[in-house]
């Protein structure tokens, strides 16, 4: 990552609100294989000026999530074709620094698609207001896109019923560790898959997972089999690849796969073929595999947030965060995340 | 195929009904790669004797279907692990030759899982009675397992709505040619995929398909794209493999795949990996992929048969058959079918 020469803001002096300088992480080049920190560069620019109906947000923290890696791939993801010279995307929380919108006042706590930068402007409809009794950082996890993804993927797509076995890959990730705790409310047997024994212990000891299997161990398939003596009814798939292939073999007749993410395929220029047994095993076992994007459930966010906030308040749901300090640390923190370095939501704190 | 020495029946002479000799096609060895006719051998044996509650059926015709190839593979299909020395399985039609069941009389027309042989015994519950105004051969196609598979796969799993584009692979096959005609009732745009231009012409000229693409042509992907200008909403998948991969790229957001068969993977000892883009494309496009077995819809057979019989009676639905004569011709007819030689339901006539 290289710093570009600072460009100082030169707003007229008679402005009511003098725009501060903005610090941003820009996409400098598109990765051709594994992501490296020099994909990005730090830049200074004048903070944007909110137009009519817009709000200027000063970000205090933002989340780094594996799914945004797909947006850097040559083939367009749902987010569209990747571009360079733009701010890296991500969800942030912060406060209103200036407002041209009647519903928002300076100092209001909000969540927004801020990207990796300090200042950003947004239409009012793009903001989520954070009530005073909520933790802002929870809007990067359980009450944000990640938590809502876990909620709708589990309850609307996976649809576990009591006594089902629910298997979750990338179980220590931001979405996974939420989905596992939510599935306990059904209740179900929760079997996580993650990449280290330390993560496994955290999920079992702190979050109540019934069993967690390390996919990096040679005996992974056998361990998964032993962890799922009654097979698997719902598989919440954050990874695709070999773990999906292993899940297919453990799924029961009538099993359901909620396809949430493909972390095994993000950080590469050569995506693997799909697992063997597709579609043969889907037929023999009447399995359904359904891809989803959380945005399709936007009309149900309010109800979901009410339920999730209640679980947070009564201690049912714990939000694990993996904290990083400083905008300049974000690129390496993303590289580490893609290598499986995080437990819970990776949050970058700017201030 | 080699004939085994005939073993003559030696029933006591004072029996009321002297059991005739049976002619059977037995699985002689399991294929290790592509199926060859010497997988089978012809055998004679005493006809079985129906026990209390059972019926002896004399088969007049039976269907050969690609799905039964899976039952010969080393890995167990839903039908269980493959065995040698047993009669090849298949659905037949014929008449009751002897009955120990109060609901069936000698001469009644029935359909049953007869296998490739002349005589077989069945519990009453395993028989489907063929009404006098129905064509028995239609119980090997539209009113039998194949037609019901097309019906439930299309309407219960694929669920097309008016003006959808429905894509069907192995479109000239027993299931495919039915599914295509049924989808016209919605109505939808029907795009078939098959392996010869002659089949394509038949589907368009005789069965009303809107467009048919030959997957053996080099420009298949481009031709499929041109045949589906509005994308694909429902893909009825009888093949898996590369055609499934191509369909994934043409599917619209919210598209549905009814996974019915994997004919691309049956006739080999080395099943391919699944298509690239699983699960990534499923997520980006919110596609659902659902495997099904027709037997799960048994409680709805009666309603479905009523609808299908009406379509047959009023000419809405045409049943194409591909006829073969003689039990001894069945093995080679199966080999040809797996190479794509048939149009419609391949039926072996014994008498």
Domain contains A110: yes
Q: Is residue B251 assigned to a domain?
A: yes
A315-350 confidence digits (pLDDT tens): 999 999 999 999 999 999 999 999 988 899 999 999
Q: Is residue A345 part of a domain?
A: yes
Q: Is the domain of B128 the same as that of B211?
A: no
Tens digits of per-residue pLDDT, A227-279?
999 999 999 999 999 999 999 999 999 999 999 999 888 777 777 888 988 99
In the predicted model, is pLDDT for residue B265 greater than 90?
A: no
Q: Which range is least confidently modeled, A118-127, A260-269, B189-198, B336-345?
A: A260-269
Number of other CB atoms surrounding residue B338 within 10 Å: 17
Contact yes or no for B273 and A271 at CB 8 A: no
- Are residues A27 and A117 located together in one domain of the fold? yes
The neighbour count for residue A28, using CB atoms within 10 Å, is 18
Asked if A172 and A96 count as a contact pair (C-beta separation under 8 A), the reply is: no
Neighbours of B41 (CB within 10 A): 19
Residues B79 and B176 in one domain: no
Residue of B nearest to A244 (CA): B279
pLDDT digits (tens), chain A, 351 positions: 444 433 333 444 444 566 789 999 999 999 988 999 999 999 999 999 999 999 999 999 999 999 888 888 765 556 667 889 999 999 999 999 999 999 999 999 999 999 999 999 999 999 999 999 999 999 999 999 999 999 999 999 999 999 999 999 999 999 999 999 999 999 999 999 999 999 999 999 999 999 999 999 999 999 999 999 999 999 999 999 999 999 999 999 999 999 999 988 877 777 788 898 899 999 999 999 999 999 999 999 999 999 999 999 999 999 999 999 999 999 999 999 999 888 999 999 996
Query: How do beta strands A21-27 and B211-214 pair?
Result: unpaired
pLDDT at A327: 96
The model's pLDDT over B279-310, given as tens digits with 9 standing for 90+, comes to 999 999 999 999 999 999 999 999 999 999 99
Q: Which residues of A touch B260 (CB under 8 A)?
A: 283
What pLDDT sits at residue A342? 87
Q: What value does the mean pLDDT take over residues B170-185?
A: 97
Best probe of the A interface among B67, B280, B298, by most A CBs < 10 A, is B280
Looking at the fold, whether B246 and B268 belong to one and the same domain comes out as: yes
Average pLDDT across chain B, whole number: 92
CATH number at residue A157: 3.40.50.720
* pLDDT at B2 (0 to 100): 44
Cα separation, A273 vs A288, in Å, equals: 19
Q: Do B68 and B152 share a domain, yes or no?
A: no
Predicted local distance difference test score (pLDDT) of residue B7: 36
Report chain A residues touching chain B, CB-CB < 8 A.
70, 77-78, 237, 240, 244, 257, 259-262, 265, 271-293, 296
Helix (H) or strand (E) holding B166: strand B165-168
Q: What is the CATH number of the domain that holds A50?
A: 3.90.180.10
Query: Quick one: B223 and B277 in the same domain?
Result: yes
Is residue B150 located within the same domain as residue B281? yes
Residues A69/A141, Cβ–Cβ less than 8 Å: no
Q: What is the pLDDT of residue A74?
A: 62
Angle between helices A220-227 and A241-250 (to 10 degrees): 40
Residue A11: the pLDDT is 41
Residue A301 lies in a domain: no
B327 in a structural domain:
yes
Do A290 and A152 have their domain in common?
A: yes
- CA neighbor of A320 nearest in space, from A337, A348, A342, A344: A344
- CA–CA dist B257, B29 (Å, integer): 35
8-state DSSP, A157: I
Q: Distance (Å, rounded) from C-alpha B87 to C-alpha B22?
A: 11
Residues B149 and B274 in one domain: yes
Query: Which pair of tokens denotes residue A211?
Result: 């069993």
Nearest CA in chain B to A296: B286
Contact B276 A274 (CB under 8 A): yes
Torsion of CA A325, A328, A330, A335, to 10 degrees: -120
- Both B42 and B182 in one domain: the answer is no
Query: Is-contact B27 B86, C-beta < 8 A?
Result: yes
Residue B337 domain-assigned?
yes
ipTM: 0.87
Beta strands A21-27 and A92-99 are unpaired
List of chain A residues whose C-beta atoms are within 8 Å of the C-beta of residue B263: none
Inside any domain, residue A178: yes
pTM here is: 0.89
Residue A313 lies in a domain: no
The range of the structural domain enclosing residue B100 comes to: 21-140+320-349
Q: What is the pLDDT of residue A3?
A: 42
Q: For the beta carbon of residue B77, count every other beta carbon within 10 angstroms.
A: 19
- Determine the Cα–Cα distance for residues A268 and A240; give it in Å rounded to an integer: 13
Residue B11 has pLDDT above 50, yes or no: no
Residue A193 β-bridge partners:
A169, A213
Sign of CA dihedral A338, A339, A344, A345: negative
- Chain B CB contacts of A175 under 8 Å are none
CA-to-CA distance for A33 and A30, rounded, in angstroms?
9
Q: Do B194 and B328 sit in the same domain of this protein? A: no
Instruction: Clarify whether residues B67 and B43 are in a common domain.
Output: yes
Q: Extract the tokens encoding B56.
A: 């002896």
Interchain contact, B284 vs A271, CB within 8 Å: no
Output phi, psi for A350, to 5 deg. Answer: -90, -40
Check residue A146 and give its pLDDT. Answer: 95
Domain count, chain B: 2
Nearest to A280 among B240, B283, B296 (CB): B240
Mode of pairing for the β-strands spanning B288-291 and A288-291: antiparallel
Query: CB-based contacts of B314: which residues, under 8 Å, 6+ apart?
Result: none
Of residues B244, B271, B280, nearest to A265 (C-beta): B280
pLDDT at B16: 56
Q: Is B313 helix (H, G, I), strand (E, B) or coil?
A: helix
How confident is the model at residue A205, as a pLDDT? 97
Give the DSSP letter of residue B117: B
State both tokens at B272: 């391919």
pLDDT of residue A13: 46
């Amino acid at each position: 990552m290289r710093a570009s020469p600072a460009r100082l803001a030169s707003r007229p002096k008679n402005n009511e609100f003098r725009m501060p300088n903005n610090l941003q992480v820009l996409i400098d080049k598109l990765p051709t294989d594994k992501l490296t920190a020099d994909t990005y560069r730090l830049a200074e620019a004048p903070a944007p000026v909110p137009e009519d109906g817009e709000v200027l947000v000063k970000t205090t923290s933002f989340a780094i999530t594996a799914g945004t890696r797909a947006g850097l791939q040559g083939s367009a993801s749902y987010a569209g074709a990747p571009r360079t010279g733009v701010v890296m995307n991500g969800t942030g929380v912060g406060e209103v620094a200036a407002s041209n919108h009647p519903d928002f006042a300076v100092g209001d706590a909000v969540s927004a698609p801020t990207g990796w930068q300090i200042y950003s402007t947004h239409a009012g409809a793009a903001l989520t207001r954070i009530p005073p009794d909520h933790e802002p950082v929870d809007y990067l996890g359980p009450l944000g896109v990640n938590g809502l993804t876990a909620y709708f993927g589990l309850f609307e797509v996976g649809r576990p019923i009591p006594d089902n076995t629910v298997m979750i890959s990338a179980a220590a990730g931001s979405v996974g560790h939420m989905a596992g705790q939510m599935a306990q409310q059904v209740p179900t047997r929760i079997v996580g898959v993650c990449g280290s024994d330390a993560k496994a212990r955290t999920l079992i000891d702190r979050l109540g997972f019934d069993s967690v299997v390390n996919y990096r161990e040679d005996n992974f398939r056998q361990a998964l089999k032993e962890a799922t003596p009654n097979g698997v009814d719902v598989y919440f798939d954050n990874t695709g690849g070999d773990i999906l292939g292993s899940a297919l073999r453990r799924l029961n007749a009538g099993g359901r796969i909620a396809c949430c993410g493909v972390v095994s395929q993000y950080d590469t220029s050569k995506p693997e073929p799909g697992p063997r047994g597709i579609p043969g095993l889907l037929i023999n076992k009447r399995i359904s595999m359904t891809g989803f994007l959380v945005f399709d459930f936007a009309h149900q966010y309010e109800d979901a947030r009410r339920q999730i906030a209640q679980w947070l308040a009564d201690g049912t749901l714990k939000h694990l965060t993996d904290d990083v300090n400083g905008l300049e640390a974000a690129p390496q923190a993303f590289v580490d995340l893609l290598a499986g370095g995080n437990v819970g939501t990776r949050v970058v704190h700017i201030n």
